């Protein structure tokens, strides 16, 4: 048997665990290592949507009309698909404007209107109170039922219990205390309640697990799977209609559709949903995962609702057990003590989660949008002059929490008995749905005005009150019942449940139709007839164009203020420390120090202070406070329009300008690079010409000098004459050769050379080259050896050009042979798909630094001490060009003192002709 103290202790142990989790999360957040900054925690926290109503009430509703409970979860699934378009915008707006609650959002959108903020707050509180009472009812009922374990006894009628012995009261008070501990540790409400979110996410897990546990137990433990439950139910004539249920529901498809619409709006505009989705959001991107994870959660928590409902109906055929308690009653019937306790905890977690977030959200609204603006306007209190208001703010919030929960309890005592859980919840849904036109219209329609929003809200709320709340009170005898039956003053047309004669619908559908017609109609009509004030116009533009504007937007302000005044305002509400930090941050962002006497109280600073303040006390209160220290000149609407238009024009222009200047920069850089290349080419060309000139002038000098000497001296001896004429002849020859080679090189480099490519047997060409140079070798007494592989595949080259290369290499080799035992070897072989030829000598060798330069034009290596080498200095560069043209490589390996080897390769299957580079680019 479950003792009372066991249940109470377990409950408090559970709450203690929650608090520990919250405490841990807060600690982590203070150290900058947030645990709620995760899309999974975010998605779980959204599941605060599933309250005790889901936990107990879904089964209750399903036991009466089958799938009728599902629109409550299908609606959010549909809505969340639209979040990408809608919620991202709301998130962005809220972050930019430091929105603290739904009321703050509406107030801020319509010109920071305290009137609207207050209206939304009142509607939210009145609308949500039934919903909170529902949670109290669920917790206290489940507690009482569990207390009687193993007997199943329905709780006594509420009125019969004295207030102080009423469990629900104690539940309400405990939850108030708990919420105060949770939610008002920090003042700054635009900041995240990290601890609370972590605890809520944990609660979402607990309630899901508890519900799945009991679901699995009933479906697979008590019965034999889904099919078994349904087939047994099908055997019962009373249950048969539930299996094809939609026509059976009051209102049929109309009711189904309206329930879907209602819950679509609820998922966005319930204060607690707005709190977890918008205010507690740490990263816009978390929305991505939540878009499908949250619906998955809803499917999971609903899978076992129908088996549980049918199971309950089958197990308690007499009807003495309230269907809302099936979830708890079935495990008790089956004597599953622990499971029953787990279910109780699951229900408790569903209820506490809802109550905590809802009351925190509502208390923020009450404080920021209802009480503060009112207090600040009361001159008599001179609140604006008080030094530190942080304590006052916290006090207001805490009081609000207690009052809201007591209101919930009051409603429970007054009207709770008359309705099932689901119906109570739907009344609240219908109330918050009234926010939809003002919010959704506000973020997409710039023309919507403050008066329009106000009229819409009030009309919608009035209809809601008349068609839903009033009947609820009447049924509990707190209002005359005749009102329902005959209408006020006996006017039948005004009967609350059949307004203007609209009958045949269920209560919710009926109320939704009329309230939405009234709300949207008034909103649109009044907005169209109205002219917005300057402040409204500015805010409308900030909200609707949030994705188009840079943060901060246009500053619309003209007036005078002083830095100390602004500082003091902030310090009064946030405390000196936070104000200090805020000003320091502001100064730093502008490259200034704080404190800095030079800091100007300009529009930007005023705006920054107001935004900061709005994060603590809401936009409307912040406006009042800032206005109290700033002498403002009102801007006319025309001026605001002009500034806004100019601002957006300027943004467009500056975007274009940026792009143009980027393009220009790129073009300039390209131009510079091109210019550098040209200069480089120019320089190289200059060098080349200068070198060629020098090389040509040198032989010319000798020729001219000797010609003149001969001309001047007719009496010169014959032998001298012969010697000088010989020099002239040789130098002329050198000049000719040089000119030919320069032209040759120029042709090759510019790609204008002709190439007569054919299959060439390299061995044969080597033979030719040796034959041509044999005289040279003989003269210098240099030995020549050839080593050729026997079967050499032909290569596709220009035979004459290849011969030119070989002649060049051979004559170079012999030229540098200076020893008595000089020898030169020519070797050809196939290697790696290439044909390779080596020309090796045992001459003086080439030093490493010279090995690169010899392939440059006009660079010669020789023993300059003794004699300048013969040749033009163009042979090797030309040879290299030729080999490269055929896709091969020409290089030298050498060891000074031991000789050199010039090698080249030619591809056996030429992959293509090399790319002859233009003259100048190669003229390094």
Residue 623 CB, shortest distance to other proteins, in Å, is 30
Residue of the chain from 12, 40, 84, 478 that contacts other proteins (CB under 8 A): 84
Footprint of other proteins on 265-294 (CB under 8 A): 288-289, 291-292
Category of 112 on φ-ψ map: left (φ > 0), alpha (ψ -120 to 50) or beta: left
Q: Which is nearer to other proteins, 182 or 304 (CB)?
A: 304
- Asked if 684 touches other proteins (CB under 8 A), the answer is no
Which residue's structure tokens are 């233009």? 918
The residues, ordered by sequence, that sit 6+ positions from 752 with a Cβ below 8 Å of its Cβ are none
For other proteins, which is the closer residue by CB, 299 or 678?
299
**Contact residue for other proteins among 727, 739, 827, 920 (CB under 8 A):** 727
Cα–Cα distance between 840 and 894 in angstroms, integer?
9
What part of residues 528-557 is at the interface with other proteins (CB under 8 A)? Answer: 547
Minimum CB distance to other proteins smaller for 239 or for 360: 239
Out of 5, 32, 85, 490, the only residue in the binding site for other proteins (CB under 8 A) is: 85
CA distance 157 to 143: 15
Element holding 840 (H helix, E strand) = strand 834-841
Give the shortest CB-704-to-other proteins separation in angstroms.
Answer: 4
Query: Would you say 243 or 757 has its CB closer to other proteins?
Result: 243
Question: Which residue stretch of 20-28, 612-620, 784-792, 860-868 sits at the interface with other proteins (rule: CB under 8 A)?
Answer: 860-868
Site for other proteins (CB under 8 A): how many residues? 66
Looking at residue 489, the DSSP 8-state letter turns out to be G
Tally of helices (H runs) and strands (E runs) in the chain:
38, 9
DSSP letters of 606-651? HHHHHHHHHHHH-HHHHHHHHHHHSEEPPPPHHHHHHHHHHHHHHH
Report yes or no: 844 and 897 within 8 Å, Cβ to Cβ.
yes
706 touches other proteins by CB under 8 A: yes
Residue appearing with tokens 């800091």: 599
Establish if 739 lies at the interface with other proteins (CB under 8 A): no
Do residues 18 and 195 lie in contact, with contact meaning Cβ atoms separated by under 8 Å?
A: no
Cα–Cα distance measured from residue 101 to residue 270, given in angstroms and rounded to the nearest whole number: 11
Residue 12 touches other proteins, criterion: CB under 8 A: no
Choose which of 658, 708, 733, 759 interacts with other proteins (CB under 8 A): 708
Min dist. Cβ of residue 162 to other proteins (A): 45
Question: Which residue number, 38 or 901, has a Cβ lying nearer to other proteins?
Answer: 38
Binding to other proteins (CB under 8 A) within 208-247 occurs at: 225-228, 230-231, 234, 240, 243-247
Place of tokens 């099919």: 227
Residue 718 makes contact with other proteins by CB under 8 A: no
Q: How far apart are CA 73 and CA 54, in angstroms?
A: 10
Question: How would you label 481-497 residue by residue, b for 16+ Cβ within 10 Å and e otherwise?
Answer: eebbeebeeeeeebbbb
At residue 899, the 3 state secondary structure works out as strand
Comparison of 655 and 778: residue with beta carbon closer to other proteins: 655
Which of 26, 731, 798, 841 contacts other proteins by CB under 8 A?
A: 731
Nearer to other proteins, 312 or 456 (CB): 312
Q: With contact defined as beta carbons under 8 Å apart, do 251 and 497 qualify?
A: no
Q: Which two tokens stand for residue 207?
A: 């309630």
| 154 lines the binding site for other proteins (CB under 8 A) | no
Tell me if 257 contacts other proteins by CB under 8 A: yes
How does strand 823-831 pair with strand 783-788? parallel
Choosing from 253, 444, 478, 653, the residue that interacts with other proteins (CB under 8 A) is 253
What is the spatial distance between Cα 147 and Cα 145, in angstroms, rounded to a whole number? 5
Structure tokens at 709: 């000497």
- Near other proteins by CB under 8 A: residue from 46, 74, 196, 357: 74
Could you give the strand order of the β-sheet that contains 783-788, starting from the edge strand earlier in sequence?
A: 783-788, 823-831, 834-841, 899-907, 889-895
> How wide is the angle at C-alpha 456 spanned by C-alphas 452 and 458, nearest 5°?
120
Burial class of residue 318 in the structure, from the number of CB atoms within 10 Å of its CB (0-12 exposed, 13-18 middle, 19+ buried): exposed
Using CB under 8 A as the binding rule, whether residue 295 contacts other proteins is answered as yes
Candidates 106-114, 412-420, 619-627, 727-735: pick the segment binding other proteins (CB under 8 A).
727-735
Between 865 and 884, how does the x/- string for binding to other proteins read (CB under 8 A)? x-xx----------------
- Under 8 Å between Cβ of 307 and 330: no
The yes or no reply on residue 732 touching other proteins (CB under 8 A) is no
The number of beta carbons lying within 10 Å of the beta carbon of residue 870 is 11
Q: Say whether 375 sits in a helix, a strand or coil.
A: helix
Task: Considering the complex, state which of residue 702 and residue 772 has its C-beta at the smaller distance from other proteins.
Answer: 702
Binding other proteins (rule: CB under 8 A), the pick from 78, 383, 502, 603 is 78
**Footprint on this chain of other proteins (rule: CB under 8 A):** 66-67, 70-71, 74, 77-85, 225-228, 230-231, 234, 240, 243-247, 253, 256-257, 260, 288-289, 291-292, 295-296, 299, 303, 306, 547, 690, 693-695, 697-706, 708-709, 712-713, 727, 730-731, 864-865, 867-868
């Amino acid at each position: 048997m479950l003792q009372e103290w066991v249940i109470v202790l377990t409950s408090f142990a559970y709450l203690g665990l929650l608090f520990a989790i919250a405490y841990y999360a807060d600690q982590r957040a203070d150290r900058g290592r947030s645990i709620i900054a995760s899309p999974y925690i975010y998605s779980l926290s959204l599941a605060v949507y599933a309250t005790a109503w889901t936990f107990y009430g879904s089964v209750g509703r399903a036991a009466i009309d089958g799938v009728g409970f599902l629109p409550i979860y299908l609606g959010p699934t549909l809505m969340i698909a639209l979040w990408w378009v809608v919620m991202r915008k709301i998130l962005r707006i809220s972050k930019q404007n430091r929105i603290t609650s739904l009321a703050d959002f509406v107030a801020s959108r319509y010109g920071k209107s305290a009137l609207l903020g207050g209206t939304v707050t009142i509607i939210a509180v009145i609308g949500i109170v039934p919903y909170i009472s529902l949670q109290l009812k669920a917790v206290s009922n489940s507690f009482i039922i569990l207390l009687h374990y193993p007997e199943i006894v329905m709780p006594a009628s509420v009125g019969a219990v004295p207030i102080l012995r009423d469990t629900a009261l104690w539940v309400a008070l405990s939850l108030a205390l708990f919420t105060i501990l949770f939610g008002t540790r920090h003042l700054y409400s635009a900041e995240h309640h990290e601890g609370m979110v972590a605890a809520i996410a944990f609660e979402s897990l607990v309630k899901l697990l508890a519900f799945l546990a009991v679901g699995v137990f009933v479906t697979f433990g008590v019965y034999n799977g889904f099919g078994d439950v349904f087939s047994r139910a099908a055997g019962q004539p009373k249950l048969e209609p539930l299996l094809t249920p939609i026509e059976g529901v009051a209102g049929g498809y109309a009711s189904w559709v309206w329930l879907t619409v209602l819950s679509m709006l609820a998922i966005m505009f319930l204060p607690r949903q707005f709190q977890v989705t918008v205010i507690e959001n740490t990263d816009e991107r978390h929305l991505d995962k939540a878009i499908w994870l949250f619906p998955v959660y809803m499917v999971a928590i609903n899978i076992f609702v129908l088996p549980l409902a049918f199971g309950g109906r089958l197990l308690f055929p007499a009807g003495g057990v309230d269907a809302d308690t099936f979830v708890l009653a079935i495990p008790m019937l089956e004597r599953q003590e622990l499971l029953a306790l787990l279910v109780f905890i699951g229900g408790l977690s569903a209820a506490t989660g809802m109550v905590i977030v809802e009351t925190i959200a509502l208390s923020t609204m009450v404080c920021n949008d209802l009480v503060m603006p009112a207090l600040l306007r009361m001159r008599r209190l001179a609140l604006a002059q008080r030094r530190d208001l942080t304590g006052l703010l916290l006090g207001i919030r805490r009081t609000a929490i207690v009052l809201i929960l007591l209101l919930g309890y009051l409603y429970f005592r007054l009207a709770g008995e008359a309705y099932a859980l689901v119906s109570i919840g739907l009344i609240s849904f219908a109330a918050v749905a009234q926010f939809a036109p003002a919010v959704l219209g506000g973020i997409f329609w710039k023309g919507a005005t403050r008066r329009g929003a106000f009229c819409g809200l009030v009309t919608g709320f009035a209809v809601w009150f008349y068609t839903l709340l009033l009947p609820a009170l009447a049924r509990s005898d707190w209002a005359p019942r005749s009102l329902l039956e005959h209408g006020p003053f006996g006017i039948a047309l005004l009967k609350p449940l059949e307004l203007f004669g609209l009958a045949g619908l269920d209560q919710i559908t009926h109320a939704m139709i009329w309230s939405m017609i009234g709300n949207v109609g008034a909103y649109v009509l009044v907005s169209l007839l109205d002219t917005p004030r300057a402040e409204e116009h500015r805010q409308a533009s900030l909200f609707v164009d949030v994705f188009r504007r840079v943060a901060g937007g246009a500053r619309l302000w003209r007036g005078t203020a002083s830095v100390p005044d602004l500082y003091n305002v902030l310090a009064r509400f946030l405390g000196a420390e936070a104000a200090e930090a805020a000003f320091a941050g502001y100064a730093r962002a502008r490259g200034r120090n704080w404190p800095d006497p030079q800091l100007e109280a300009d529009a930007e600073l005023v705006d920054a202070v107001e935004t900061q303040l709005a994060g603590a006390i809401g936009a409307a209160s912040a406006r009042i406070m800032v206005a109290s220290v700033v002498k403002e000149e009102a801007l006319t609407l025309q001026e605001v329009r002009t500034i806004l238009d100019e601002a957006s024009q300027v943004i467009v222009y500056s975007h274009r300008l940026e792009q143009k200047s980027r393009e220009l920069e790129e073009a300039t850089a390209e131009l510079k690079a091109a210019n550098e290349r040209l200069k480089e080419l120019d320089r190289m060309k200059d060098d080349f010409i200068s070198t060629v000139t020098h090389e040509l002038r040198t032989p010319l000098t000798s020729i001219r000098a000797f010609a003149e000497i001969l001309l001047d001296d007719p009496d010169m001896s014959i032998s001298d004459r012969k010697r000088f004429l010989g020099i002239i002849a040789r130098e002329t020859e050198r000049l000719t050769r040089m000119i030919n080679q320069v032209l040759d090189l120029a042709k090759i480099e510019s790609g204008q050379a002709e190439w007569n490519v054919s299959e060439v047997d390299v061995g044969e060409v080597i033979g030719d080259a040796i034959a041509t140079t044999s005289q040279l070798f003989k003269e210098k007494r240099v030995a020549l050896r050839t080593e050729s592989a026997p079967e050499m595949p032909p290569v596709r080259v220009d035979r004459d050009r290849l011969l030119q290369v070989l002649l060049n290499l051979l004559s170079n080799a012999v030229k540098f042979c200076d020893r008595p035992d000089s020898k030169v070897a020519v070797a050809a072989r196939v290697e790696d798909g290439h044909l390779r030829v080596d020309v090796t000598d045992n001459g003086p060798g080439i030093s490493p630094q010279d090995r690169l330069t010899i392939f440059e034009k006009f660079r010669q290596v020789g023993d300059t001490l003794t004699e300048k080498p013969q040749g033009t200095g163009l042979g090797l560069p030309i040879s290299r060009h030729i080999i490269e043209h055929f896709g091969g490589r020409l290089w030298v390996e050498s060891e000074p003192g031991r000789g050199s080897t010039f090698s080249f390769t030619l591809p056996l299957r030429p992959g293509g002709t090399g790319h002859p580079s233009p003259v100048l680019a190669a003229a390094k």
